[in-house]
Structure 1
Amino acid sequence: MSTSISPSTQYSASNFVVSAGCVLFRKREGALELCIIHDRKRDQWVLPKGRKDCGESTAEAAVRETFEETGYRCELLPCRMATRAPRPGVNTLDRVEVIDNITEPFSVVIWQQGEQGVKLVWWFIGRATSDDKVLGTQAAWEEYDSHFVEAEEACTRLKYQSEMDTAREAIQIVRDGNMGGL
């Protein structure tokens, strides 16, 4: 038996959790705004995300969790972005291509959780489909207040560096050619 030329780590299903979320945007009076949530229990600002349910795709989980945690109905925003995923039906070498109008994850964060293993968070870019906030969408244990904030200001409020970096990357993707989709 030979070993791979690339280092790898394997986790059984009991040692990883798949989560997904959206960096949720809207455009208001020409300004780009991002939705962040204030976790009242921990007194910290975070991006909306949560665990994927069995049988659910990561994209479906991102939209559902974003709605549940923010109260804003949303959809994935088709964007122009660099990706290593091939175009549908095209068999190419593994390389980076810039593709228009895709709703692929633009980032993944891997959080080491000690004995529990890892948490994989797949990040998508979303847009609010309504300015109307729906109340009562959170789980019983969640105590979140969601707020749309000017995009750059929202980044400065986020608690975790990985979420700041994620939000800034999403802002750049949106500003580089997707403002018309908002």
Structure 2
Amino acid sequence: MATSPNTTIQYTSEQFVESSGAILFDLSNNQNKTVCLIHYHSKNEWLLAKGRRNCGESRQEAALREVREETGYQAHLHPVTMYTRAPPSDEQGHMPDMPRSYPDITEPFMGKDAVKDVKIIWWFIAALDEGVVPGSGGDAEEQFTPEFFPLEEALEKLSFQNDRDVLKKAVSLVVQS
């Protein structure tokens, strides 16, 4: 019996949770981009908006819903140019499994998983909807206060190294696009 050349781990639905999040940028001032972090009051932590995907909800929908719930801001996925192993939407025939660069896509740019109880987080890049102004308020969940920071300050403010790694990658993709 043949074995897959790729490392493969399979989990049942009871063994993992799938989450989606988005790095929310204010891109209205091209020279002074800022990013939204949420302050989690009860633990005094600075985080990125994310949460569990609901049954029947796409990863993209979950990411935008979580941003809306946790920050109070309306946003949209922001297309960037990046490498992905996913084939193009107009795939013709078999394509080798290798990274390719695609312009203007809104695919997850990063995934993280934990080992004990598996939590898979799909990260997207989002931008404020046109006309939405940072600090304009909104209906963020009670336990969070959203705040926009300059990119370097946001990297220092985040409570966890994993979130810093995610933000660094997001910033690199937004800056190059």
Q: TM-score, normalised by structure 2?
A: 0.90
Partner residue, 1:46? 47
Give yes or no for the alignment of 1:103 onto 2:106: yes
In 2, Cα distance between equivalents of 1:160 and 1:82: 25
In 2, Cα distance between equivalents of 1:72 and 1:93: 40
1:133 Cα deviation from its structure 2 partner: 2.9
Tell me which stretches of 4 or more aligned residues in structure 1 moved more than 4 Å. none
Partner residue, 1:36? 37
In 1, Cα distance between equivalents of 2:165 and 2:57: 26
Give yes or no for the alignment of 1:134 onto 2:135: no
Please list every run of 5 or more consecutive structure 2 residues that lacks an aligned counterpart in the other structure. none
Q: For residue 149 of structure 1, what is the amino acid of its counterpart?
A: F
Distance 1:163 1:89, change over 3 A: same
Q: TM-score, normalised by structure 1?
A: 0.88
Partner residue, 1:66? 67
Partner residue, 1:87? 88
Please provide the CA RMSD for this pair.
1.5
Q: For residue 133 of structure 1, what is the amino acid of its counterpart?
A: G
1:8 Cα deviation from its structure 2 partner: 2.5
Distance 1:44 1:3, change over 3 A: same
Between 1:151-160 and 1:48-57, the stretch displaced more is 151-160
Please list every run of 5 or more consecutive structure 1 residues that lacks an aligned counterpart in the other structure. 178-182
In 1, Cα distance between equivalents of 2:79 and 2:162: 23
In 2, Cα distance between equivalents of 1:71 and 1:144: 10
Superposed, which structure 2 residues align to 1:151-162 within 5 Å? 151-162=151-162
SS at match of 1:100: strand
Distance 1:94 1:8, change over 3 A: closer
1:27 Cα deviation from its structure 2 partner: 2.9
Give yes or no for the alignment of 1:125 onto 2:125: yes
In 1, Cα distance between equivalents of 2:35 and 2:120: 22
In 1, Cα distance between equivalents of 2:150 and 2:6: 41
Total equivalences in the alignment: 170
Q: Which has the higher strand share?
A: 1
Partner residue, 1:11? 11
In 1, Cα distance between equivalents of 2:50 and 2:7: 29
